[in-house]
Structure 1
């Protein structure tokens, strides 16, 4: 019988040619070893042996992460990631049995898109996430900061003056350094509008500004285009990068601008009919179903509450918004 460790080793080496076969192997593993997912499949009267295509795989509604234990096998969680939420909301909990694998896959994905972390100075502006101790985003960025091995890398809560001073010093010392300014959207907007002189950034060519989504009720909701216009003007960059990730996923997608996301080898998006959650045939717009092969120890097949569309002939996608009456989530608060 195939093991979790064997599947994870395969995930680290997956490619477009073997993605579907590996996804089906993980589906069968989780159908047998994930009690909650197995019950869901039984409720749907799914014959696991007859599932021969990823389009036939039932996706677990993301709400199950709020009420059920989502674990595959006899593993025990070493860390529990919890989603942000307003007071009284029932938040999602991702039980992670192998946090080292999460960091390994997250690092591999980032470096595939952006290059080695050791080349970056990472300045993180994640105030709301730092206020709690169970954020998957903070856990990932903290690892990135360590891997950068730079004394200038670090977290900044609301100390915008110190952040601006650090940016100015780094850019003046070495114009070839690569800087990643990564932040929750309202934090980046607050920094941009803090009245600080950031004009020194005009002469710097290696700044990447990446927003992770999230207004958290701190600011008026804005269109993505409005947010990106404010940030590009404030930081003197051509594009604002974005991350597509959530508590329930161990893999991340990245956008190099305009809200168009690329996916790593370990992820695939299927779009479902908004009126028929089991129809993923030939949809170009609809609800986002995520296959995250890195979720070996939880569930790799998740029906999210995000709405999306495919970019024709590219394999890329946009996040358009959220289903009506769904909870506001930290990773996708912007109205698009």
Structure 2
């Protein structure tokens, strides 16, 4: 199957939520990546997993997320990529790189999922973006994600409220007042650490708003040492107190640079919230030392199988701890202890084989 044919099949699958051939398409994608992604091919051969003997998506070898920092995981020459998204970190840290030959699939995955999980029945909403413009951060998958939200599902009055100089509080307060007075629903979207800075400002100034019905908030998880850490209950309680948005309308998105699809919860009235993804991504909860699924309801490490990851690796072993539920999974934080050891061993194993003859 050519790249063009594969992209067309994935696009068609994304648009048809009643598709039942996830396994078939996953196996086609595995064959494509096995043929064209040489580090992944070498690793798969050492694991004795080839297109001849892999019959289920669950048996496709998982690439440890840290490998994106050490190996160019791409089915094309990296110079041919339309976009290269890079993981966050300090300038001294090695950043993981995710190469996209085209953004067609990433964009389709984001917009289709966002419409259903965040917009729901609403066709457009006025947005305030608490994150820099994608032109300021061309290597940020989150910047691209928020640009797509604003461009395709935000009203024409939607604005960026943050730049390299930080949050424009004067403009933000004006936008909140306009929404409160007009009765027009308003959405604030951004990284969690941006909301912490906003909360601190509103608390310091003793400012309180009551945003209209239909207003909502999207935060995108994690603080990445760019703000103080805030416990989940305190975080959403503060947003309700100072912005008047119910916890049930505060949506958390869980995603990562190494994936092309995002997970959402249905609000944060209860903690921890249940995360789930669309029909083109599947998740297992495993013991990283054995690679086997842990019993239902037990803690383990999350492995995601993302059909939208057509150019890099279909299956990603994360360093996130989670527990399976009836409707998705609880995200419990970063791995520690034996799980952390298992993930480290998985990285060592992958690099030992993937770098051979390279």
TM band (smaller chain): 0.7 to 0.9
Q: Unaligned 5+ residue runs, structure 2?
A: 341-358
The 1:221–1:109 alpha-carbon spacing in structure 2 relative to 1, beyond 3 Å, is same
Aligned equivalents of 1:151, 1:264: Cα separation in 2: 28
Q: Which residue of the other structure, out of 182, 188, 192, is the alignment partner of 2:199?
A: 192
2:349: which partner in 1?
none
Q: Which residue of the other structure, out of 303, 313, 323, is the alignment partner of 2:335?
A: 323
1:246: which partner in 2?
256
Superposition pairs of residues 102-121 of structure 1, within 5 angstroms = 102-113=106-117, 114-115=119-120, 118-121=123-126
Aligned equivalents of 1:220, 1:171: Cα separation in 2: 29
How many residue pairs end up in the alignment? Answer: 319
1:138 equivalenced with 2:138 (yes/no): no
1:12 equivalenced with 2:18 (yes/no): no
Give the C-alpha shift of residue 193 in structure 1.
Answer: 2.5
Tell me, what secondary structure is at the counterpart of 1:48?
Answer: coil
2:160: which partner in 1?
155
1:36 equivalenced with 2:39 (yes/no): yes
Give the C-alpha shift of residue 283 in structure 1.
Answer: 5.0
1:97: which partner in 2?
101
Superposition pairs of residues 24-63 of structure 1, within 5 angstroms = 24-63=27-66
Q: Deviations over 1:40-81 (max 9, x none)?
A: 112223233111112211101111111111112468211111
Tell me, what secondary structure is at the counterpart of 1:13?
Answer: helix
Give the C-alpha shift of residue 301 in structure 1.
Answer: 0.8
2:347: which partner in 1?
none
Q: Which residue of the other structure, out of 218, 231, 246, is the alignment partner of 2:226?
A: 218
Aligned equivalents of 1:53, 1:261: Cα separation in 2: 24
Under a length normalisation based on structure 1, what TM-score does the superposition of the two structures give? 0.86
2:292: which partner in 1?
279
Tell me, what secondary structure is at the counterpart of 1:270?
Answer: strand
> RMSD in angstroms over aligned alpha carbons?
2.4
Q: Which residue of the other structure, out of 209, 227, 231, is the alignment partner of 2:217?
A: 209
Asked if the contact 1:273/1:283 (under 8 Å) is kept, the reply is no
Asked if the contact 2:137/2:143 (under 8 Å) is kept, the reply is no
Aligned equivalents of 1:107, 1:128: Cα separation in 2: 17
Under a length normalisation based on structure 2, what TM-score does the superposition of the two structures give? 0.81
Aligned equivalents of 1:160, 1:19: Cα separation in 2: 46
1:330: which partner in 2?
none
Asked if the contact 1:266/1:294 (under 8 Å) is kept, the reply is yes
Give the C-alpha shift of residue 286 in structure 1.
Answer: 0.8
2:355: which partner in 1?
none
